[in-house]
Each structure stands twice: as structure tokens, then as C-alpha cells.
Structure 1
Amino acid sequence: MIKDKNDTKNRILQVSLDLFSLRGYSSVSIRDICGKVGIKESSVYHHFKSKQDIFDVLCNSFTETLYALPQAFSVEMQKVTSVKDEEFIFVCQSFVNDYLMNEKINKFIRMLIIEQGTNVQAAELYHRVLFDDALAGQKVIYQWLVNIGFLRNSDVDMMVMEYYSHVIYLFHRYLAAGEITAGIRAEVNRSLLRHIQNFLAKYKKVD
């Protein structure tokens, strides 16, 4: 019984995220959600107080997920005293492929993009996830890369902006509009690799 209840709750969250990421929170009704899940409208209230409650649970859940990767990376970072080119490239690619292209995370960010114009909570999360907290975290990492001698001593703020601006460009051009096909993945990774190589040519410290 408990498993069935949890399965239904998770299914409601999954369907809600799918619909919110395609049409936006405001354009999706409880009836729409229940129709996709295959339950009566009254049944949703056994799991959630309202549509807003579903939205809040999604935001809380994905905020934890979104910050788990950077936090885990920061812990590992403290154990490392040197970095190779291929390791730097791998981490940069992982951020895009395993984070921005992660199906659930991608849908969540797309939901925030749609909702940011009318929903203060969504606008705040959107700016935190893709800009404020992301840039702050990267500044810490890039300063560490300077300190261990991988990157040359330079203006870290500008270095981060120069690198991350292309990542954001790739996300909004290729990853924020719908299904991420194999072709899109390949194009994003080709462009990303060129960008990383150009970045290293400019900023890697040469002994």
C-alpha cells in the first residue's frame, strides 16, 4: 500500500514536471495532470494540497539535486594538488553532459525559464541555478586552479565569465527548447570542446 502510494506521488511529480516544462505552470491544470497520470482529480489531494504544492515540492527536490554535484566536486577538489588537460576537459564536459543534459534537471530548468516572467519563485531559482550560484561556485574552482598552478594568474571573475558565457549560449541555443537528440548532443560537444581548447590556449599556465 505504501509503495503504491509513493509510486502514484512520484508519477504525479514526473507528469507535472513534463507538462510544466512544455507548457508552463500556469497553463497546466490539475485535470491535465490527473489525465496523464490516469487517476481521478480528487486522488491528487491525497498526495498534494494543491498545484502550487506540487510546484513547491519539485523546486525543493531539484534544488537539492542541482547543488549535489557542485558540493561533491568541492569535496574532491580539496584532495587534488595537480590537474592534467584531459582531466579539466572531462570535468567541463561532464557539467554539460551529466548536469545540463540530465533529463530531469533539464526539464526543471526549462520550467523555470517559462515561469520566470510571472512567478517570482521561479525567477529567483532560475537566476540562482544558472547564474548567481553557478558563477560563485566556478569562481572558487578557477581560483583553486590558479593556486595549484594549472591556470595562469589572471582576473578570475573575467576568466569565469569568458568560459561560462559560451556554456550558457550552448544551453539556450540547443538544450532549452525540447528533446535533446543524439545530433544535438554531438553538436554541443563539438562546440564545447573547441571552446575548452581555446580557453586553455589562452589561460593555461606555461612553465
Structure 2
Amino acid sequence: MEKRNTKQAILEEALNLFSVNGYDGVSVRDIANAVGIKDSSLYKHYKSKQEIFKTLLDGMNQRFEETVAFYQLPQGEIEQVYQQYGENNLVWLKKAVEAMFLFFMDDAYAKKFIHLLMIEQYKNNEAAKLFEEWLISGAITFQSSLFERLMEEGYFRKADPVATATQFYGPILLLLLMYDSKPEKHDEALRLLDCHIEEFASHYHISHGENI
């Protein structure tokens, strides 16, 4: 029989509990009991509940980066990636957006971590900041800069970059929230996502042959 990895089990059970009860609603004893160990044994692996949370956050960042790398999505500064977005076609854009959408919708770790942040955002400043960075301001800031550069280079029609980013990302976030607890409607969510991207591209993109 394979020996259980206690250190990993602590993280898994902590994330399970945090995603349901929030960070403040879970004690070290709760985590230890879920793993089936004593409090003192847990402290041999992690110094505090805060360290457990920090390790979970690091894991979230790593999983996101691995997803981006797996789907070979553009990475780096706007000057390094905007041309890839501008010169690729609509099929490519759909796949790129779908990859990120499915990360938050289907990845069990990501879903639980976001649920944790959603629970804690109104009572925990750090959680509120992380929720904002992961699902709101982080996305809007990147997309605003990206769309502004695409407009400057003639790939997109001129418009307010922040408003454009909001029009692009708002429906995507709404779909995530609408279908978060409805795995049986997975295909419906993806169909609506594709329709949204097509509508957005038809309104903002300036045609250049086979480009978006």
C-alpha cells in the first residue's frame, strides 16, 4: 500500500475546508482532524495556517503558469505579445480564451481557491486583494493595455481601451459565475463563450485577411 503524503494531504484538506468555510472559519485543529493527525504533527510540516495558505497560493500560481505554457499562450510584456494576438485568427483567439475559461471552470484546485477568495473577500483584506487581482483588475489591466496597443497598430478600431476590455471580459466573468456550479451545462457555457468572442471581434476587429 502506498504511503500517504501527509504534507500534501494537509494542503488538500485545508483547501477543501477553506473553499467551504473560508479561511477564518477553519482552524489548524480542523485541518489536522480532516487529515487524521494531531495538531502537533501538522506543525511539523507547516508553521502556521498562514503558511498553509501561502503554499496554496503558490500552487495556484504554478498551476496557472503551467496552463498558459501547455496551451502555448503569449506571455510577457505587452510589447512582446500584442502582435501574436493581432496576427492570429479567430479560431486561435477562441482557443486561447477557452483555455483560461476552462482553467477556472474545470480545474478543481482553481475552483476551490477562487471559492475561498469569494468567501473571504469581504472580511479579509488579503483575500479581497487576491480576488481582485485574479478575477477583476488583473484581467482588465492586462486587456486594456493589450487592446490599446492593438488599436495603435490598426488591428482594432479606435475606442476607449478600458471600456473595450470591460466589454470583452465582463461577459466572460459572468459566464464563469453563472456556470460555476453547473458542470452538466459545460457545453452550453462554451457555446455562449464562443458567441461572445465572435460578437466582440465583429465589432472591434479591423479585418486583415485571415486575421481575427
TM-score (norm 1): 0.83
Q: Percent identity?
A: 30
Number of the residue aligned with 1:19: 17
State the secondary structure of the residue aligned to 2:75.
helix
1:93-144: CA deviation from partner (whole Å, max 9, x where unpaired):
1110134532212211110010111111111111111112221112233234
Q: What is the CA distance between 1:66 and its match in structure 2?
A: 4.2
CA distance in 2, matches of 1:152, 1:174: 31
Residue 25 of structure 1 aligns to a residue whose secondary structure is coil
Task: State the partner residue of 2:81.
Answer: 77
Q: In the alignment, residue 50 of structure 2 is paired with which amino acid?
A: Q
Aligned match of 1:188: 189
Q: Return closer, same or farther for 1:168/1:13 CA change in 2, 3 Å cut-off.
A: same
Alpha carbons 2:60, 2:110 under 8 Å: kept: yes
Corresponding residue for 2:125?
Answer: 120
Offset, 1:72: 6.0
TM-superposed CA distance for 1:60, in Å, is 3.9
Does the residue aligned with 1:74 lie in a helix, a strand or coil? coil
1:103-182 paired onto structure 2 within 5 Å: 103-147=108-152, 149-175=154-180, 178=181, 181=183
Q: Which moved more, 1:142-151 or 1:10-19?
A: 142-151
Name the counterpart of 1:47. Answer: 45
Report deviation, 1:56.
2.7
Q: Show CA shifts across 1:49-89 (max 9, x none).
A: 22232123223442454467399622473673611111111
Give the paired residue count.
200
CA RMSD of aligned residues (A): 2.8
Q: Which moved more, 1:41-50 or 1:75-84?
A: 75-84
TM-score normalised by L of structure 2: 0.81
Structure 1 unmatched ranges of 5 or more: none
- SS of the residue corresponding to residue 24 of structure 2 reads helix
Answer yes or no: is the 8 Å Cα contact 1:82–1:148 preserved in 2.
no
Q: Secondary structure at 1:91's aligned position in 2? A: helix
- 1-structure distance, mates of 2:104, 2:37: 32
**Match runs of 1:88-107 below 5 Å:** 88-107=93-112
- Match of 2:156, SS state, is coil
